[in-house]
Amino acid sequence: MLLNLHIKNIALIDDLDIGFEDGLNILTGETGAGKSIIIGSLGICLGEKFNKDLLRNQDEDGLVELIFTIENEEIEKKLAVFDVVPDEDNQILISRRVNKSGRTVNRINDVSVTTSKIRETAELLIDLHAQHEQQTLLKKNRHLEILDKFGKEKINARKQKVSEAYKNYCELKEKLDSMNISVEERLKKKDFLTYRINEIESASLKKGEDEELERLYKKAVNSKDILGAADEIYKITGYDNQRSAANEISHALITMKKLSELDGELSDSYNILQDIDGLLNDFNRDFSDYMKSMEFDEAEFLRIEERLNLINSLKAKYGSDIKDILSSLDELKKEMEELNQYDQRLEEVKNNLDKAKEELESESNVLSEIRKEYAKKLCELIEEALKELNFMTVSFDMEFKKLDSYSENGNDDAYFMLSTNVGEPMRPLYEIASGGELSRVMLAVKACLANEDDTPTLVFDEIDVGISGATAQKVAEKMSVISRNHQVICITHLPQIAAMADYHYVINKEVENNKTVTKIRKLNKSEEIDELARIIGGFDITDAILTSAKQMKGLADRTKLY
């Protein structure tokens, strides 16, 4: 259930804390006192758009927080699916903050989350009926949504099968549409594919060839500079120059040999010098071979350049490297094979499409039967609830028709039917214009859905539109009954509903520091009578009106005992 609503810096609200109780929580107040701000803030925290224009003070952040206590094990399991875990006090804190730049920060128990996760979590905890939501009953497509929500445990699983079948059907239909080309177009396409395949195959590409050619090309282009530097090195180390390192070491080696013969202690030094001479000989031999290989071959250079140009032109058409080009070749061959087997493939796709359509039709029919099963149960519950809401001779049903086309939702065209008078034929609910009737139907629907999915908290903003008198009394009694199994928070202008409150809150505007602010407070028993009297009689409260208010509250208390 919802324990607390905290609002800060939103519209007429500076900083407001509202603690709610289990049972029927009633909110009343004068028109313009700020009731819509409170409900709007509640909606924001449930995932609705948080507009920075709502900020009372543009230099401060706006904040809305909800604290829920989790008392239902099933709901706790469902929350775990979204990785939402209550804290050690078994509570969940949902908060949304917006700054003057419009940036919104969403959190659940101090963990940053997306707006969609806020919505998913809130949907399990609270159902908000905002002003004029009953008008959605005038939209036929919403009726099927209501039914699917009511029977979601079985219906959602079947809808998933329908969705998969529909996706498969659409893919095959798209494939068939793409294959419906003329003979002339097919011949043109084959010629084009033949040209492209031959273009790649005639190149006789090898993986890694481009990298090797790039290396050789770079070496050839730079061969002049390389040979110049290499020649200078060889002059220093080789034998062509009288003063080169090789010649000088050879002379030193002859002299060193004589010295080692005269003094045996120099034999190790002689051996080292011999090694140096050997290493230098090896270096010069290898370096001479390298210089010979670097001799510029113009014909070979042209061959490398032409081959690279060919490969790069293929890369521009078919991929960034030879591997991609060869993969493109495989795809082109596959496409050519399909064209060569066009008639056979066309027949296969047509057969597969027929099977997919049969599967889609079959799954849609199964879904439709499950919906009809749940529709019967839902309509019976709604009809019973409507009778409790002062529809004395009501009939409520759901009409099913088949659409000519399919979607991932099947092909059901379903809508609620209603008759409120004896002998009056049933008419589609979306054709009914009476606000009072729509309000009561919506209340009945909400009650039935809440009982089915164990939504802990129900919020009603002016569900009493268009009703009065005995009907208002019936609506009040229904609210009280619903609040025995759910926490109910209701904004109302009707004294009959207000009298039924387990906890009564009044919303008003006050002036503080030359600023108008919205306040809310819970009333004691005496104040509840005064507020009822205000709703009944306005500002001029007579003894008769006070007596009427006391009687109305007493009647409500007695009604709640049954």
Q: Is the separation of the CB atoms in 266 and 276 below 8 Å?
A: no
Q: In which band, very low, low, confident or very high, does the pLDDT at 421 lie, cut at 50, 70 and 90?
A: confident
The average pLDDT across 348-371 equals 95
In this prediction, residue 137 carries a pLDDT of: 83
Tell me the C-alpha distance between 509 and 59, whole Å. 23
* pLDDT tens sequence across 308-336: 898 899 989 998 888 899 999 999 999 88
Report how far Cα 88 is from the mean position of its chain's Cα atoms. 29
- In this prediction, residue 467 carries a pLDDT of 83
Q: What is the pLDDT of residue 131?
A: 66
Q: Which residues contact 270 (CB under 8 A, 6 or more apart)?
A: 253, 256, 257, 259, 260
Q: In the predicted model, is pLDDT for residue 289 greater than 80?
A: no
Highest mean pLDDT pick, 49-53, 165-169, 174-178, 480-484: 165-169
Between 117 and 218, where is the model more confident? 117
Query: Where do the domains of the chain lie?
Result: 1-131+462-469+484-519
User: Does the pLDDT of residue 294 top 70, yes or no?
Assistant: no
Mean pLDDT, to the nearest integer, of 483-504?
92
Average pLDDT over residues 24-34: 88
What residues contact 295, with CB distance under 8 A and at least 6 apart?
227
Average of per-residue pLDDT values in the chain = 87
DSSP H stretches of helix in 319-424: 322-340, 342-388
CATH topology of domain 1-131+462-469+484-519: Rossmann fold (3.40.50)
- Does residue 367 surpass a pLDDT of 90? yes
Residue 403 vs residue 234, higher pLDDT: 403
Q: What is the torsional sign of CA 499, 501, 505, 508? A: negative
Mean pLDDT, to the nearest integer, of 542-547?
89
- Per-residue confidence at 73, pLDDT binned at 50, 70, 90? confident
- Let me know: does 461 contact 129? Beta carbons within 8 Å: yes
H/E stretch holding 300 reads helix 298-318
Please report, as a single letter, which amino acid is at residue 515. Answer: K
Which tokens go with 32? 């313009």
Q: Can you tell me the mean pLDDT for 145-154? A: 91
Tell me, what's the pLDDT at 420?
85
**pLDDT at 286 (0 to 100):** 81
| Ramachandran region, residue 90 (left: φ > 0; alpha: ψ -120 to 50; beta: rest) | left
C-alpha span between 235 and 241 (Å, rounded): 6
Tokens of 232: 């200078």
Least confident of 23-27, 148-152, 342-346: 342-346
Kindly report, residue by residue over 444-457, the tens digit of the pLDDT.
Answer: 888 888 877 678 99
Over residues 8-23, mean pLDDT: 91
Residues 6+ apart with CB under 8 A from 90: 69, 70, 71
* Whether 25 contacts 31, CB under 8 Å: no
For the segment 514-525, the average pLDDT, to the nearest whole number, is 90
Q: What is the DSSP string of 214-258?
A: HHHHHHHHTHHHHHHHHHHHHHHHSSSSTTSHHHHHHHHHHHHHH
